[in-house]
Structure 1
Amino acid sequence: MSSPIRRAPRRLAALAAGLVVGALALTGCSSSDDDQPASTATGAASDAFPVTIDGALGSATIDKQPERVVTWGWSAQDAVLALGVVPVAMPKYTYGGDANGVLPWDADQITKLGAQTPTLLTGQDTNEIPFQQIVAAKPDVILAPYSGITQDDYDKLSKIAPTVAYPEKPWATTWQDQTTIIGKALGKSAEAEKLVEQTNAHVADLAAKYPVLKGKSFVYGSNNDPGQLNVYRASDPRVQLLNQLGLVNSPSVTDLDPNPDDGSYFFQVSYENVSKIETDLLVAYFDDQAAADTFASDPLIAAMPSVKSGAFAPIVGQSFVMASSAPTVLSMPWMLDQYVPQLAAAAEKVK
């Protein structure tokens, strides 16, 4: 599986510092008239500017309500679009996106806003930041609260425009915090808080509709490497989303974790050791049904009590994988109404 969900180790981009500086100089002397559309915003700003947003890699001070917004990472564009703003540039998704590289819930929202598809930034699959493309977009702000950017990346991006990174750890910002951080950056804090409330209410309604989920233990996994089950830690947003539905983390996630402080969002358990996993439900994602069937048919996986009893709830399809791996105010309504009934059906089979 070669999806970006693997978040493979980052290959250093072959960019000399002089290239970035030179491009910045070009931005500084360029005309305001260009082929890039300005971000489309609806509603008045609810916050006063300037605003300063602190993050793990530094602080970003935004002097006035940004009009040209660039996003980086997995899901920042979702919150931006949900707040009625169309970025001038956002990542291209070869995994989970349509023929143009746009995720389906983003495409729906862009259509709803009557806008054109923004410039799509390459490099998302390999975590290689396209500095030249970002410079060309002439951003007022760069939003990357759910990303894996490094300090070096942040320093370079901050020379282009104020850059908002993650508040604590890479790839660990909750969807709620992503939304409120982005709302503050765009001068739309009240709107962002309302979106969080509405989305929380939608998840709560689903939890109430399927009470069988409440209190069931689960492990969230993936099979990206042969013979290995990736087990996601409690800090991962995809795990936290299932917690919101009433599921509880299996103690095995903690008990089997060989190095909980390694800074990653998952650890690996070999197929030979999956018998040590004690859980009511097993949740895992797959590119397609064939991959899910292959996984479940492996003798060591098939012998797991959760799989043997049918308490296995695969998330199947690239768009569904993206929606659940980086949950947002746009992706959750898109996927949960379809997936939660399947999850509940698996919970009914817990013995």
Structure 2
Amino acid sequence: MNISRRAGIFAASTAILALSLTACGSASNSADSSADASGTSAGDFTPVTIKNIYGETKIDKAPQRIATISWVNADTLLALDTVPVGMDTDAYGQNENNSTEWKDEALAKLDASIGSEKAPVQFATGDDPDYTAIAKTKPDVIFAPYSGLKKEQYDKLQEIAPVVGPIEPNYLTSWQDATEAAGQMLGKEEEADALIEKVEGDLAKVGEENPVLKDTTFIAADLSAPDTAYVYSQGDTRPRFLEALGMKQADYVQKNAAKDTFFFTVSPEKVNEWDSDIVFASAVAGNTTKDIVKSQALYGQIPAVKNDALALPGTDEATLAISAASPLSLEWSLDKVVPKIVKAAENAAAAK
């Protein structure tokens, strides 16, 4: 069974550049023993074949022990009430558990909080998967549809267990496609489809409840660095998220977007050309609009900045929730991030 691309997907960013154009990992492990996955019983499971960029993976029976590579994939399993036997440590926007608020909430609901007997092992994150730690969890399957696995890494993981590899390269697999893959792997296809429908519906509902968002134009950007600004184009999750709320990407992006990449750079001298109602921008955690303009005065020439219509996620965790989207993180963002976007849209409307 192949996984088709859905219309209106949230194509995910390359994990490092997409989050804040920087991110490193640190090692962390929980207990040596972890909970088994809560998938379909073997007798009810229909064998499936899931294609990826390196080949295909045939799953003949419902896996009971699943290890995940990359932060988003653990979220996806948890959203389907399945606890991975091991998962990568969150190394950007992480809390004291080297996790996230939405992941911790899901683990708690499944009686598998980090530090507990049933908690997943947390693998070190870095340039390579933590092969030794992954092997120690004795997985039936390694789940990595949203990842940047290279062919040699994929092959090495295959020596440990069958790998559901990246459906698109370089972290470009959408959260919908990753969820579909999880549903097929677990024998929970109906649950996965229902989950996708719910999250997409919740995003649309928030847009309807905030009519100021409809057709408000936006540019999704990164203003963390004073010497270079970054604009995210159609391949990134941020524009897809804003469009799901009923907003429209500014024509400027389409006119200037580079081919085969999810972002392009803009010199500070050119940001005055950002003709959009609002700008949704990643920045140094905790920075305000004043801080951004103080670090680079030319950013004050952005029309949205002049109109107090710059929406900032505010924290690295909030940036992560949108830039590495999962069913769990998107639901979390509705309360934590959307109000800031609505306020920026209101300010933009008032300035017209």
Shared fold per TM-score greater than 0.5: yes
User: Residues 165 and 139 of structure 1: is their aligned pair in 2 closer, same or farther, counting only changes over 3 Å?
Assistant: same
- Could you tell me which residue of structure 2 aligns to residue 210 of structure 1? 210
Q: Cα deviation per residue 1:251-273 (whole Å; 9 max; x = unaligned)?
A: 2112223x312xx3222112122
- Could you tell me which residue of structure 2 aligns to residue 82 of structure 1? 79
- Could you tell me which residue of structure 2 aligns to residue 270 of structure 1? 267
Q: Distance in 2 between matches of 1:103 and 1:215?
A: 32
Asked if 2 retains the 8 angstrom alpha-carbon contact of 1:175 and 1:329, the reply is: yes
Asked if 2 retains the 8 angstrom alpha-carbon contact of 1:69 and 1:139, the reply is: yes
Q: Alpha-carbon deviation of 1:164?
A: 1.4
- Could you tell me which residue of structure 2 aligns to residue 63 of structure 1? 60
Q: 2:313 aligns to what SS in structure 1? A: strand
Q: Distance in 1 between matches of 2:289 and 2:347?
A: 18
- Could you tell me which residue of structure 1 aligns to residue 199 of structure 2? 199
Q: Alpha-carbon deviation of 1:127?
A: 3.6
- Could you tell me which residue of structure 1 aligns to residue 19 of structure 2? 5
Asked if 1 retains the 8 angstrom alpha-carbon contact of 2:148 and 2:171, the reply is: yes
- Could you tell me which residue of structure 1 aligns to residue 152 of structure 2? 152
- Could you tell me which residue of structure 1 aligns to residue 89 of structure 2? 92
- Equivalence map 1:256-335=2 (5 Å): 256-257=256-257, 259-261=258-260, 264-290=261-287, 293-297=290-294, 298-335=296-333
Q: Distance in 1 between matches of 2:240 and 2:42?
A: 31
Q: Cα deviation per residue 1:83-120 (whole Å; 9 max; x = unaligned)?
A: 11111111111322221201111111111111233111
Q: Distance in 1 between matches of 2:299 and 2:343?
A: 20
Q: Cα deviation per residue 1:97-150 (whole Å; 9 max; x = unaligned)?
A: 221201111111111111233111112xx4432111111121111111111111
- Could you tell me which residue of structure 2 aligns to residue 31 of structure 1? none
User: Residues 283 and 235 of structure 1: is their aligned pair in 2 closer, same or farther, counting only changes over 3 Å?
Assistant: same
User: Residues 291 and 344 of structure 1: is their aligned pair in 2 closer, same or farther, counting only changes over 3 Å?
Assistant: closer
Say how many residue pairs are matched. Answer: 323
The aligned amino acid for 1:328 is: S
- RMSD after superposition: 2.4
- Could you tell me which residue of structure 2 aligns to residue 29 of structure 1? none
Question: For 2:124, which of 100, 105, 122 is the aligned residue?
Answer: 122
Q: Cα deviation per residue 1:164-220 (whole Å; 9 max; x = unaligned)?
A: 122233222222111111111111111111111111121111011001111111111
Asked if 2 retains the 8 angstrom alpha-carbon contact of 1:180 and 1:192, the reply is: yes
User: Residues 121 and 287 of structure 1: is their aligned pair in 2 closer, same or farther, counting only changes over 3 Å?
Assistant: farther
Q: Structure 1: which 5+ residue stretches go unaligned?
A: 12-33
Q: Distance in 2 between matches of 1:215 and 1:174?
A: 23
Q: Structure 2: which 5+ residue stretches go unaligned?
A: 1-15, 26-30, 113-117
Q: Cα deviation per residue 1:305-335 (whole Å; 9 max; x = unaligned)?
A: 1110011111111211111111211111212
The aligned amino acid for 1:245 is: L
Asked if 2 retains the 8 angstrom alpha-carbon contact of 1:238 and 1:326, the reply is: no
Higher relative contact order (CA 8 A, sep 6+): 2
* 1:164 is the counterpart of 2:178: no
The aligned amino acid for 1:164 is: V
The aligned amino acid for 2:19 is: I
